[in-house]
A and B are shown apart, each in its own frame.
Chain A
Amino acid sequence: MRKYVTLKIDGAGIRAPKGSSVLDVAIEYGICIPHLCHVPNLSDIGACRLCIVENIVNGRSKITTSCTLGVEEGMVILSNTERIKKLRRNIAELLVAQAPNSRAIQDVAVRCGVKEVRYPFRNNDCVLCGRCVRVCEEMWQARAIGFVGRGKDRRVDFPFGVRPDFCKKCGSCIYLCPMTITPCDGPMKPGKEYLCGKCESQLSMASGAMEDTCVWCELGKGFSVHDMVINERLLLFMMISMPISPSSTLPKHFFPLTAYPVSYSGSAAHDQGENCFLRPIVPVF
């Protein structure tokens, strides 16, 4: 028998199964809390901090990540206050300055309200969201890749830099990587990056006709997608990444905000340069 608790997210009374996280519940109900490192069915580490919410405890607001926050009876969560929006915008700005050529990160940034980036751009290939590390460890129990180094030297790498035998080249890491989406083909040249804000949604990249597609999500309000044409890859992604929920299907109006593998269009269009940690892995697709 599943136990349920009731809580309030942004004023909406919500009945949620005990043991689920606030982020999962919010997404389930179409309340879009931006997130990057969270992947359904993988453990949450609270690393990207985009999914921060205000948790009101005894009248005092506490800022915490919703992916690591378990639901409790009578909880009051605010996911879309001015303060949260400002913090989220600053975090997204930090991220996009780090990887301005990633369409997924640009997308997150634009949706979090980043209009300009006040820091010099750096052209990194990785934002250390840890999706790849966790899918390798938890889904496949392989631990073929992991975090190496500390602080600004932190990177994703194979053990001792050599691809181990137990890496089965399954490609899950590439699949979940926000950096492997076809980069913006616009005017972004190394050293001349700027945020054009034109690719506002990865949905526009799904194949087929996209009439009436809402590409601009006003945070917290959800958005609707009509007649969405789903390609094979998207379907596969949805199968592995769908949150387990009592209803076990997604509401029609809902689409996860940062489900960027949606737009993944074939073998990695990653530049596969020297610094690319994915380089030795040959996608099997």
Chain B
Amino acid sequence: MPKVKPRVKSVKDLTELRKRLRSSVKNFKSKLTICGGTGCHASRSQDVIDAFKKELKKRKLEEGVWVRATGCHGFCEQGPLMILEPGNIFYCGLKPGDAGEIIAETILKGEVIERLLYTDPVTSKKVRTEAEIPFYRAQDRQLLAQNRHVDPCSIEDYIAIGGYSALAKTLTEFSPEKVIEEVKISGLRGRGGGGFPTARKWAECRSAPGEEKYVICNADEGDPGAYMDRSILEGNPHLVIEGMMIGAWAIGARQGYIYVRNEYPLAVKHARIAMQQAREYGLLGDDILGGGFSFDMEICRGGGAFVCGESTALMASLEGKVGEPRPKDVHTVANGLWHKPTTLNNVETWANVPPIISNGAAWFAGKGTRGSKGTKIFALTGRVKNTGLVEVAMGTPLRTIVFDIGGGAINGRAVKAVQTGGPSGGCLPLDRLDLPVDFDALYDAGSMVGSGGIVVMDEKTCMVDVAKYFLAFLQDESCGKCVPCRLGIDRMLEIVTDITEGRGRPEQIDLLKELADTVASASLCGLGKTAPNPVLSTLRYFPEEYEAHVNEKRCPAGVCRELIEYEIDAEKCNGCGTCRRACPYDAIKGKKKEAHVIASHKCQKCGICLSECKFDSIIVT
């Protein structure tokens, strides 16, 4: 007989369903939670899950052991990750072949396998549980911690941990105005980059004239190295849906859209399944929970244009037009999607709404700084030891994130700069790392919180080259509609390329500054307005690097090919010949056991000899 899912018609139904779901879980002896987020998926977590299922079937243990694939746990560096209950044992770096051993040793005998535990890099001790790992210790995981308790494809899991109770509370106890008031007290600000107060946006949209209103979730995350929104939508789509429903209730919308980029197939899939399940339970549709509130939503897949993260371009794309921004002289809260009042928020903003409602605004406002409340998820990437997703309370110094959580730069190098906020953000030097993660503090320093990417750079990074990289990205992603952005970024890239290739002139730096100001002030949309930030912040904090490139035609970090020479230190070279054999251009000559020499006219500066040499005898000047 096919199992018909009970429709949840009232708040009482929901509470009963939750009780029933909770009691059914207790029958399992042990629980395996394996991370199936994108990072771990790439390190073959699906194979690990399959291996476990196969092994359990072979040993006829399926009834007693619950295997659950969840969303991202955050510590992507060490993936695939697994948490084993009872005991909360944390295993990392799993391979499909480990399944048998784990079942035999840990599940059946209760013994911990030392080999698979995480090693604390400082004390070199094996760590048993997640809470003891330095990467997790300094974090304040409010949203991400839920990921490990929820199978993203199961609404039952979400309901069991208390999901949709915030919605029930909203519909029964709160008027729309009260919801907005609650969000206002919490001090929630948009997590997508701008940091606009969410409550103000909602209130303006609520008071905007018009019967039909829309809510949109912006999951068009395109910053290089950022994957927070993706991980939330993949790991806990119901949280986002619930947040959007509460928002829709507050502003009076009946229709919602999730605009997610098609490059996130797992996010699309999970969001779609989640919506389908919510519909089956009657949590989406007409008369939700008997509260007289009707709401439904759709998924719209974006084509991967960075500019479609801009609200008006996103709406144009949703309408089926070319994804180009339009002037925002009338705000989207009054004239948005199909010229109707529209509230657009980032995935993380929506995900923050249910906890605010269930735990109270004061709980949320208790975290963070004066201007920025709550927690924020960052994607920590670049030349740092522990890459992964990090959730910290607002106001945490960048230094804590980079050094305590991230473990500092790899290969024992020194951290030189930290880039926050993606292509719209800026680079902060080491001595500014005591800045707190705060919308206003970072903005004043010439960077921004942005959507939450943090890229760590070490001393082998050339800041002019970084500026060039971001300019090239933005030039590629600019829609080309307005002149300052299309031509201005193009010309800035031209100048920076000149500088990195040794054709720079001193007056070009002033021109670069003037041009950056023009692009920032006169561009049509947010992409252009923030585009010069990487250039301006590197010019502000690393002027000596620009000067070295322009005046001395020298790249201090040894990155810009046109400005560097490879040489062999005759004292260190013992003539092993590794570099000579490795050089694809035949540029290295020398006899056995004698110091080799690089013929500079043949050298293409590919850097292969540098990585091949075991004696550090290749010098970059």
Residues of A with Cβ closer than 8 Å to B? 44-50, 52, 63-65, 68-70, 83, 86-87, 90-91, 94-95, 97-98, 118-120, 127-128, 147, 149-154
Contact = CB atoms under 8 A, between A and B. Distances in A.
30 contacts: A45-B327, A47-B483, A49-B522, A49-B523, A63-B521, A64-B327, A68-B327, A69-B329, A70-B330, A87-B521, A90-B514, A91-B484, A91-B518, A94-B488, A94-B518, A95-B487, A97-B487, A97-B491, A118-B511, A119-B494, A128-B480, A149-B480, A150-B307, A150-B477, A150-B479, A151-B477, A151-B479, A151-B486, A154-B479, A154-B481
A55 to B, nearest CB: 9
A150 B483 contact: no
Nearest to A90: B518
B515 interface: yes
Contacts of A149: 480
Contacts of B488: 94
A151 B483 contact: no
Contacts of A153: 480
Interface residues of B, number: 32
B476 interface: yes
A45 B523 CA distance: 12
A151 B518 contact: no
B270 to A, nearest CB: 29
A65 B524 CA distance: 9
Contact of B329 (A49, A70, A90): A70
Contact of A65 (B327, B478, B515, B517): B327
B480 A46 contact: no
Nearest to B481: A47
Contacts of B487: 94-95, 97-98
Given A64-B329, A68-B327, 5 more contacts: A48-B482, A87-B518, A95-B483, A150-B305, A154-B479
Interface in B454-479: 475-479
A130 to B, nearest CB: 8
Q: Which 6 A-B pairs give the minimum distances between C-beta atoms?
A: A154-B480, A68-B327, A90-B518, A94-B487, A46-B327, A151-B478
B53 to A, nearest CB: 45
A45 B482 CA distance: 9
Nearest to B488: A94
A154 B491 CA distance: 16
Interface in B496-522: 511, 514-515, 517-518, 521-522
Q: Majority SS of interface residues in chain B?
A: helix
A277 B491 CA distance: 24
B157 interface: no
A94 B482 contact: no
Contact of B480 (A63, A120, A152): A152
B326 interface: yes
Nearest to B518: A90
B475 A151 contact: yes
Most buried by B among A50, A68, A69: A68
B322 interface: yes
B583 to A, nearest CB: 36
Most buried by B among A49, A65, A69: A49
A45 B480 contact: no
Contacts of B565: none
Contacts of B517: 87
Contacts of B491: 94, 97, 119
B490 interface: yes
A152 B475 contact: yes
Contacts of B523: 49
Nearest to A52: B522
Contacts of A69: 327, 329
Interface in B541-598: none
Given A46-B327, A49-B523, A70-B329, A151 B476 contact: yes
A120 B522 CA distance: 22
A271 to B, nearest CB: 22
A118 B509 CA distance: 12
A64 B482 CA distance: 12
Given A95-B487, A119-B494, A46 B524 contact: yes
Given A49-B522, A152-B486, A90 B479 contact: no
Contact of A49 (B322, B482, B494): B482
B475 A47 contact: no
Interface in B223-254: none
Contacts of A65: 327, 524
A224 to B, nearest CB: 30
Interface string B429-449: 000000000000000000000
A207 B153 CA distance: 75
A230 B482 CA distance: 33
A153 B479 CA distance: 9
Contacts of B515: 90
A18 to B, nearest CB: 14
Nearest to A72: B329
B480 A49 contact: no
B591 to A, nearest CB: 48
A154 B485 CA distance: 13
Contacts of B524: 46-47, 49, 65
Given A91-B518, A119-B491, A151-B477, A47 B482 contact: yes
Nearest to A89: B518
Given A90-B515, A119-B491, A49 B327 contact: no
A205 B420 CA distance: 54
B528 to A, nearest CB: 9
Nearest to B305: A150
Contacts of A150: 305, 307, 477-480
Contacts of A95: 483, 487
B307 to A, nearest CB: 8
Nearest to A149: B480
A95 B522 CA distance: 14
Contact of A46 (B475, B482, B511): B482
B478 A49 contact: no
A241 B546 CA distance: 49
A97 B14 CA distance: 66
B322 A91 contact: no
B162 to A, nearest CB: 43
Contact of A128 (B329, B486, B490, B522): B486
Contacts of A83: 521
A215 to B, nearest CB: 25
Nearest to A129: B483
Contacts of B327: 44-46, 64-65, 68-69
Nearest to A22: B329
A90 B483 CA distance: 10
B240 to A, nearest CB: 29
